[in-house]
Structure 1
């Protein structure tokens, strides 16, 4: 499925969970705090701005935020929170779409770069970020570490969530680095609803090479937004790349 088909009106309506889940203050506040510091008083550009989970509170901190977003339904949800004057958004994909002006910070959070399902698109995304940055500007990426260590030989899938009324399953294609998340929602009836989203997982070292191809240098890598050390056991990372 194309990304603009996945992020339709139904998904956009269910995406926002104000005050809970990924929208809870404990999930949002550390991200906003770190990004505001990295912006250094300059302008910020969010790739795949979505419904404004991070952009709205970051703009409220006084950081001028612009966005790029492919999904019009997601953008409509953002517009219920902030108008074009407050947070301008260019409609398009994050690999090729240009926003006007120069920025001190470009950021891409919550695994969103993996929505680009080819290596070429991901390389282009790094190049696009670099093209928006002024000298000394930073590109920040939040991403999961591929969880292939949990896959026994010959097993193509893992269960990542098992809750009342919900089952989450990831299937892996290690040859092409493709992961498909299957979300199964069910009740007491014999019917279930399944939605899927494809991703291309990226190793941190592969990301570093993409950055080098774009003329960026790795400045820091932590396990989370609070600055915990990144180790071999870390399941996520926040990587900051800098344009010299």
Structure 2
């Protein structure tokens, strides 16, 4: 399992290694195509004022979910484009606002857009071994570190305390419900570390895992997972050393 995960993480960064420090004309065209594709998908989300969202929370029907910060996601519409959609990740005041898919393996969406078209930007995708409804103890989503700053490139900003203070959480919307993902650790990791451990074991083992990943954090966070709370990890490539990754761990808490 660890060997399979190693190659998934290596392949996820292969595009960045091959492109070096510059972008060719074809790469620029690919970036443009990806940008247009994801811009079109933004038509499946809408913003509402926080006060409007608080009035309607708990009254939405069907597969439209309303987050208190004002993002509504039309999962019925998205599933018609791609039935493998499992959620939407949104970072307030960041470029991160993308659908999340889950394939049968962890390679299919590395270089395919949400629509299935071949493109180096790929998709934000949930680990194939995780529960598709994010009900497991630890869910992991991957995204490329694109040179134009898109996808999960901005995760590395969490190495700054100031950035964390102004971006302490993400929003996760799923067909089953909506979550505030409070960041409790962010750091550069090696693929050999336990950051991507999906099964955390019994509570004592889980608390030890939380202690270890929290101790590695590059920033001082103001929250920590409590017993029974689920964890979401966002993972992308980083280039401090061979096989470096930047991971952001967050605790999932229902919107109230």
- TM-score normalized by the length of structure 2: 0.25
- TM-score normalized by the length of structure 1: 0.26
Q: Which has the higher strand share?
A: 1
